[in-house]
Every structure is written in structure tokens, then in C-alpha cells.
Structure 1
Amino acid sequence: MIEVNDIHKSFGDAHVLKGVSTVFENGKTNLIIGQSGSGKTVFLKCLLGLFYPEEGDIIYDGNSYASLSDKEKRNLRQEMGMVFQGSALFDSMTVAGNVMFPLEMFTKQSVSEMTDRVNAVLKRVNLIDAHHKFPSEISGGMQKRVAIARAIVMNPKYLFCDEPNSGLDPKTAILIDNLIKEITEEYDITTVINTHDMNSVMQIGEKILFLKDGLKEWEGTKNEIFKTDNQAVTDFVYSSDLFKKVRQMYIEERN
């Protein structure tokens, strides 16, 4: 679980986060949504420990980040898995090499132990026969699965995803969403996802945090988002005709 308590983050005169508080539970898919410039990326980087809030605190399973020693912060970062927007795979490494990279960097496991772990996570993301291929030889959806495998190879407590469906066709995006949700539940991970994809919100949004101008404008579940009267949320969510129709159908069913 991650508890965020009244965090503020500024860059010069730009006050980007203005006292955001929330809780992300483990075993659930927690989604952050909002327009460009709302503070989503800065917020995610604060959770990753890449940015330090000037005020407030972030607590990871009862441990305040602000009170951790440098060594404890390094250990905490090794408990975090990250799926980047563009997958961020090493072009010169094979699929297996990309997934093994964190193990080589941060553990003292034998080659045999690392190989077994790599095989296990690649099997989990349904990439049994891709070990020796290079990123350029596989599809965008397969690259995302490699990125997910690399993110979970260290058995993280926390999984962060930045626009995991970026650049994917709708069918593949649904597969990636379902895979992230399944892994979150199986490993009881605290998963936090930055997304613009409203299909993801409706598909796997167990907890949704909506940021606007650096503030927490709204939070709730994918079902509650249909009921809200918050104008900023409805303007964002129902900006497309598709979701306007979905909401109207929901209202009619309720009546």
C-alpha cells in the first residue's frame, strides 16, 4: 500500500502539485487520469522517488520515504517495477537479455537462477518462444509484454506503468490491460498506472484518481465515475461521443 499525504512539488515559480493526498491499495489497479499538464507525470515520478516533494510525505507499507536512509531508499527502489511508455527496451539485447538486466544489476544470483527466473516471467506474459529475438523483431504488443516481464522479474511490491497502451491497437491494449490486472492480483502488487486511455479506466479502474491543475479533483471506482456530478470529471471522461452514449445507457438502466 502507498499512502500519499499532502504532497507539494514546484519547479521554480510553477506549483505543479498542490497538496495531493490519496491511498493506493495493494492487489488493485490504481489509475491516475487527467488532462496534459494536470501533474500526472510529476506525481508518478514523486512516487518513484525521482522527484522529492517540498512538503508532505509518501509512505510505502508503513515506511515514510522522508525518514529512510540512502541505503533504505535504494532498497525500496529495487522493490519497484516500471513499465515505460515506449517500453524502453535495449535494442542491442535479446528479449531474455532485457528481462535479465535488472537481475544482473541488482542481485547476486547465479546464471542458472537468473535464467530460471527469466523463463518463468516470460512464460507468465505468454512469450515462451521469444527469448532469442531482438526488440526490432517483435511487435509493439510483444514489446510491452517484455517490458512487463522485466518490471516484475525482481518480484516488486510496487508496479508503476506510464501510458502502457500508448501506440497499441485497441485489441492489444485490452490484452495488456488484462495482463497488468492479472499480475497485480496474482502477486498482490500495488500497481499505479498513468493513462489517457478511457477504455483502460472502464476495463480495469478499481481505483481512479483524477488530477486537475495539480489538485486531486476526484477519486473513486470505474462504476462511481458514471455517477459523479463533478463537471471537470464528466467533461474529461465524456469528451468522446462513445462515452457519452455509455453514460446515457447507464443512466437509463438506473432509472
Structure 2
Amino acid sequence: MIKVENIRKRFGEEEILKGITTVFEKGKTNLIIGQSGSGKTVLLKCLLGLFKPEEGRIYYEENAIQDMDEEQQRELREDIGMLFQGGALFDSMTIEENIMFPLRMFTKQRKSEMLSRVNEVLARVNLEGVNKKYPAEISGGMQKRVSIARAIVNNPKYLFCDEPNSGLDPKTATVIDNLIQEITHEYNITTVVVSHDMNSVMEIGENIVFLKHGKLVWQGSNHDIFKTDNEDVTDFVYSSDLFKKIREVQLKEE
């Protein structure tokens, strides 16, 4: 669980986050959505400790980041898995070496132990046998699955995903969404996903935080989002042709 209390973040005179208070729940896929410029990425970077808010506090379980010393912050980083927007695989490393990288950084395991763990997570994302390939030799969807494998190789308590479906076709994006949700439930992780993809909202949005102009204006599940009368949310959601059709079907059924 990650708790955010009254977070405010400024850059110069511009206030980007304006007093956000929320909880990202353990064992659920928590989505942060909103239009460009709403503060999604800034909030994510505050959660990761990359940006320091001017006001407010961020708690991992009961421990505030602001109160942690360097050793505690290092221990927290070991508990965090990160899935970057572009995958961020090292082109010069094999798939095996890419996934092993966090193990080399944060553990003192023998190579045989690390290799065993690499094979475990590759099997979990259905990519057995690609160990010696390089990222350029596999598809974009496979690269994203490798990135997920790397993100979970250290058994993180917290998983952060920045636009995980960026650049993927709809079918592959659904595969990635489902994999993220399955892993979240299977390992009881607190997963936070920044997304603009309404398909992701519909598929895996168990706890959705909607931002507008740096404020949290709505929070609920993917079931609640179709029932809300919040105009900011409905304007955003139903701007998609797909969701207009879904809404038409729902209204007919009602």
C-alpha cells in the first residue's frame, strides 16, 4: 500500500500537483489517468522519490519517504520494480543479461542462482528460450514482456508502469495489461500504472485515480467509471469512439 497525503509540487511559479491525497491499494492495479499536462508523470516521479514535493507526505506502508535515511531509501529501491515507457532494455546486452542486471545490482547471489531466477521470470511471461537473443531480435511485444520480467526479477513489493502499452497494437496491449494484472494478484504487489489507454482502464482499472490540472477530481474502479456523473471524467472517457459505442450498448441494456 502507498498512501499520499496532500502532495504539492511546483516548478518555479507553476504548481503542477495541487494537494493530492489518495491511496494506492496492495494487490490491485492502480491506474493514474488524465489528459496531457494533468500531472500524471510528475505524481509518478514523486512516488518514486525522483521529485521531492514542496508539501505533503508519501508513505510506503507506514513509512514516510521523507523520514527515511539513505540506507532505508536503498532498501526501498530494492522493493521497487519499474516498467519504463519504452521498455528501456540495454541493446548491447542479451535478454538474459538484461533481466539479470537488477540481481547483479541489488543481490549477492551466485550466477547459477541468478540464472535460475531469470529462467523463472522468463517462464512467467511465456518467453522461455530467448535468453541469448538481443532486444533487436525480438518483437516489440516480446521486448515489453522482457521488461516486465526484469521488473519482477527481484520480487518487488511495488511495481510502477509508465505507459506500458505505448507503441503496441491493441491485441498485444491487451496481453501486456492482463500480464500486469495477473502478476499483481499473484504476488500481491502494489501496482501503479500511468496510462492514457482507455482499453487499459476498461481491462485492468481496479482502482483509478483521475487527475485534471494537478488535482484529483475522481477516484473509483473500472465499473464505477461508467456510472459516474462527473463531467470531467465522462468528457475524458467518452471522447473515445470505442467508449461511445460501449456506452450506447449499456444504455440500451438499461
TM range (shorter): over 0.9
Other-structure match for 1:137: 137
Q: What is the one-letter code of the residue matched to 2:140?
A: G
Q: TM-score with structure 2 length normalisation?
A: 0.99
1:12 aligns with 2:17: no
Distance, in Å, in 1 between the alignment partners of 2:79 and 2:241 is 41
Number of residue pairs the alignment of both structures matches: 254
Deviation at 1:204, TM superposition (A): 0.5
Q: What is the one-letter code of the residue matched to 1:42?
A: V
Distance, in Å, in 1 between the alignment partners of 2:17 and 2:251 is 34
Q: What is the one-letter code of the residue matched to 1:155?
A: N
The alignment partner of 2:87 has SS state of coil
The alignment partner of 1:85 has SS state of coil
Q: What is the one-letter code of the residue matched to 1:12?
A: G
Distance, in Å, in 2 between the alignment partners of 1:213 and 1:96 is 42
Distance, in Å, in 1 between the alignment partners of 2:166 and 2:66 is 33
Following TM superposition, the consecutive aligned residue runs of length 4 or more in structure 1 with deviations greater than 4 angstroms are: none
Matches for 1:68-217 after TM superposition, within 5 Å: 68-217=68-217
Distance, in Å, in 1 between the alignment partners of 2:9 and 2:221 is 26
Deviation at 1:77, TM superposition (A): 1.2
Distance, in Å, in 2 between the alignment partners of 1:41 and 1:140 is 23
Deviation at 1:128, TM superposition (A): 0.2
Q: What is the one-letter code of the residue matched to 1:225?
A: I
Identical positions, percent: 67
Distance, in Å, in 2 between the alignment partners of 1:129 and 1:70 is 39
Contact kept, 8 Å, 1:226 with 1:250, in 2: the verdict is no
Distance, in Å, in 1 between the alignment partners of 2:222 and 2:135 is 34
Distance, in Å, in 1 between the alignment partners of 2:133 and 2:242 is 39
Distance, in Å, in 1 between the alignment partners of 2:99 and 2:160 is 16
1:65 aligns with 2:52: no
Deviation at 1:70, TM superposition (A): 1.4
Q: What is the one-letter code of the residue matched to 1:140?
A: G
Q: What is the one-letter code of the residue matched to 2:85?
A: Q
Other-structure match for 1:46: 46
Unaligned runs of 5+ in 2: none
Distance, in Å, in 1 between the alignment partners of 2:213 and 2:23 is 19
Other-structure match for 1:242: 242
Question: How well do the aligned residues superpose, as a CA RMSD in angstroms?
Answer: 0.7
After superposition, give the CA deviation of every residue in 1:46-104 in whole Å (9 maximum; x if it has no partner).
11111111111011011111111111011101110000000000000000000000111
Distance, in Å, in 2 between the alignment partners of 1:77 and 1:217 is 30
The alignment partner of 2:229 has SS state of coil
Q: What is the one-letter code of the residue matched to 2:200?
A: S
Deviation at 1:248, TM superposition (A): 2.5
The alignment partner of 1:92 has SS state of coil
Deviation at 1:251, TM superposition (A): 2.8
Distance, in Å, in 1 between the alignment partners of 2:154 and 2:134 is 21
Other-structure match for 2:35: 35
The alignment partner of 1:27 has SS state of coil
Distance, in Å, in 1 between the alignment partners of 2:241 and 2:125 is 34
1:24 aligns with 2:38: no
Deviation at 1:110, TM superposition (A): 0.7
After superposition, give the CA deviation of every residue in 1:10-65 in whole Å (9 maximum; x if it has no partner).
11111000000111111100001000000000000011111111111011011111
Q: What is the one-letter code of the residue matched to 1:55?
A: E
The alignment partner of 2:38 has SS state of coil
Deviation at 1:240, TM superposition (A): 1.9
